[in-house]
A and B are shown apart, each in its own frame.
Chain A
Amino acid sequence: MNADATRRIALQGTKRARGAESAGGARRFAGQRPNLLGGLFGWLWLLVVIVPIYYIVITSIRRQSDFYRENPLSFPSHPSLDAYGLVLENDFLRYFANSLIVTVGTVVLVLAVSIMASYVIVRSRSRFAKRVFDLFLIGIAIPLQATIIPVYYLIVQLGLYDTLLALVLPSVAFATPITVLILVNFLRDIPQSLFESMQMDGAGDWTMLRHLVLPLARPALVTVGIYNALSVWNGFLFPLVLTQSAENRVLPLSLWSYQGEFTTNIPAVLAAVVLSVVPLVAAYAVGRRQLVAGLTAGFGK
């Protein structure tokens, strides 16, 4: 069978999953009458959201000497980027790189192992595969915080304490259940006949995984990858407990230590906050739709 045609047929099956997002378009006139109360509430919440963010940004470009003199909400009389310079001089880029390594490593690993498991769960009829899926479904509810002590014990025993790998492995473990759930939901929409016709042509598991599952599951992989990336990038507890040296410090932890280092230099602390969120804001600006879908993945259906 022509591979392109195959893909198109399968996509029709998977479209349903994504169609939900655009379904709202039909409801254009539902809220047509102006709703004053709703509007007021909306603007009020905007204020609640924006004021702290405005404060963070505006303070980060205030000179430290002005911080205690000027009104915190006023535009700085002498805007300056000194605070950013100070943060960058203090190893910010190393922490940034560490965060990047841990995030990319975790996401790649969790997607790889989860797509394999999902393939088995969707394709296999054995009782074992069902058990695996049930196990992951329960696994979603395991609170990461509550297992931190044994995880710490384990990491120390494995000689991984204070390494970046110590952050990757548990992060993968806790990201796997939700990732598998989302991928399985998505892969179930691939018509079995596609697998069968490939099998007829003598394709093995790995061939089908690479040439059928991977291309078709791309949207789901992106979505759940974003979800995982965001939670690993912003994760705090694993780094706090499992690493120690500045060499292996990741961004969220670095904010915490900057706060200790700079103490009274609030502009510098907040400059670090701004710098830590810049990549995510950039990602949001570029791929807002994917990011929103990624965040609500598995819950918003």
Chain B
Amino acid sequence: MTRSIESGAAARRRTGPTLWMAAPSLVLFGLFALLPLFGVIALSFTAWDGLGTPAWTGLSNWSRVLADPAMHNALWLSLVVVVTAWLVQLPISLLLGVFMAGHQRYRNVLSILYFLPLLFSSAAIAIAFRSLLDPNFGLGPASGIGWLSQDWLGDPRLALGVVVFVIAWSFVPFHSLLFQAGVRQIPTTLYEAARLDGANARQMFLHITLPQLRHTIVTSSTLILVGSLTYFDLVYVLTQGGPGIATRILPLHMYLTGFRNFDMGGASVSAVILVAVGLSISLVLNRVTRSNTMDSQQEGL
């Protein structure tokens, strides 16, 4: 959109609207988002049980927490969840998005149904899967398929995989919508030209669809990585970090340390690490495609 040159008279009269109109949003955002962001750093240097007044303790939380094997466990589990969630969700979402972008009637109907998991709250999904995965009364025994009848949430070796699967179940629909929109923005002319040159479907997918989706891939990856790093609700209701500490990922470790063990200082250390890693992931990936959210991907076509 070309910005018309402001007429001289108007420009002289004022340079713009009163800035006070931005004040309400700034106050709310500053007080309940920005201040807590700095507050959590401050709290990580205090001892606080959640009731009294935080008392300054310097670096002691940090040295204590960073040496704590439970913390190492949480960091490791979070890393595993982030990586596997990405490896699972990105390919499935991409393929599903390409599939949904087709205009066949049955694909439109299926797309409507794929959306359904997005309507459920994480709590609802977790509760449903808890009974669905019950080794005695769940899907396993019902289907008669032997390997499905495992103690999915009770076996420490399986529980983390289940967490990744259920997270994928609830978020793949969202990411596939992104890819559907991305695919539909690819100009048809590219495919027509490729077809004239005798390209087959696989070649067109690899050499047109994939490269054209690079912005969507970055956006989607950012959301998956940061999302599964900070994801709390679903895991909390599904496993509460258990069995034992098998699924006690970093956000869960933070919550349980703070609100169960009343060690808010120690929990704040986890929170600061969460913020630091989460912000870095999104800033780094954002820099890769700065234009992503702001400009049209079709510029110059």
User: Are A and B co-members of a single complex?
Assistant: yes
A13 to B17, CA, bound (A): 22
Residue of B nearest to A196 (CB): B10
Chain B residues within 8 Å of A38, by CB: 95, 98-99, 102
- Given A72-B137, A270-B128, A284-B119, are A117 and B22 neighbors across the interface (CB < 8 Å)? yes
Are A296 and B24 interface neighbours, CB within 8 A? no
Does A253 sit within 8 A of B, measured CB to CB? yes
A116 to B119, CA, bound (A): 30
Are B16 and A255 interface neighbours, CB within 8 A? no
Q: How many residues of A contact B (CB 8 A)?
A: 119
What is the distance, in angstroms, from B128's C-beta to the closest C-beta of chain A? 5
- Chain B 241-276 per-residue mask, 1 if CB under 8 angstroms from chain A, else 0: 000000000010011001100001001100110110
Chain A residues within 8 Å of B297, by CB: 301
- Chain A 257-282 per-residue mask, 1 if CB under 8 angstroms from chain B, else 0: 00100000010011001001100110
One of A28, A123, A151 near B16 (C-beta < 8 A): A123
Chain B residues within 8 Å of A281, by CB: 116, 119
Are B114 and A46 interface neighbours, CB within 8 A? yes
B interface: dominant SS: helix
A14 to B179, CA, bound (A): 23
Segment among B32-40, B58-66, B154-162 that sits at the interface with chain A: B32-40
- Given A117-B21, A189-B1, are A270 and B131 neighbors across the interface (CB < 8 Å)? yes
Segment among A81-89, A214-222, A234-242 that sits at the interface with chain B: A234-242
Chain B residues within 8 Å of A142, by CB: 33-34, 37, 275, 279
One of A109, A150, A273 near B35 (C-beta < 8 A): A150
Query: For chain B, which range describes its interface: under 10, 10 to 19, 20 to 34, or 35 or more residues?
Result: 35 or more
Scan residues 173-190 of chain A and give those whose CB is less than 8 A from a CB of chain B: 173-174, 176-177, 180-181, 185, 188-189
Chain B residues within 8 Å of A298, by CB: 293
Are B34 and A139 interface neighbours, CB within 8 A? yes
A27 to B120, CA, bound (A): 32
Scan residues 127-167 of chain A and give those whose CB is less than 8 A from a CB of chain B: 128-129, 132, 135-136, 139-154
Chain A residues within 8 Å of B169, by CB: 48-49, 52
- Chain A 79-103 per-residue mask, 1 if CB under 8 angstroms from chain B, else 0: 0000000000000000000000000
Scan residues 1-55 of chain B and give those whose CB is less than 8 A from a CB of chain A: 1, 3-4, 6-7, 10, 13, 15-19, 21-22, 24-26, 28-29, 31-37, 39-40, 43, 50, 54
Are A125 and B275 interface neighbours, CB within 8 A? no
A37 to B278, CA, bound (A): 36
A209 to B17, CA, bound (A): 10
A42 to B201, CA, bound (A): 17
A192 to B4, CA, bound (A): 6
Chain B residues within 8 Å of A113, by CB: 24-25, 28
Does A292 sit within 8 A of B, measured CB to CB? yes
Are A125 and B15 interface neighbours, CB within 8 A? yes
Does B73 sit within 8 A of A, measured CB to CB? no
Chain B residues within 8 Å of A185, by CB: 293-294
Are B124 and A277 interface neighbours, CB within 8 A? yes
What is the distance, in angstroms, from B112's C-beta to the closest C-beta of chain A? 7
Does A223 sit within 8 A of B, measured CB to CB? no
Does B226 sit within 8 A of A, measured CB to CB? yes
What is the distance, in angstroms, from B142's C-beta to the closest C-beta of chain A? 4
- List of 4 A-B pairs having minimum Cβ-Cβ separation, nearest first: A24-B184, A150-B39, A124-B16, A173-B32
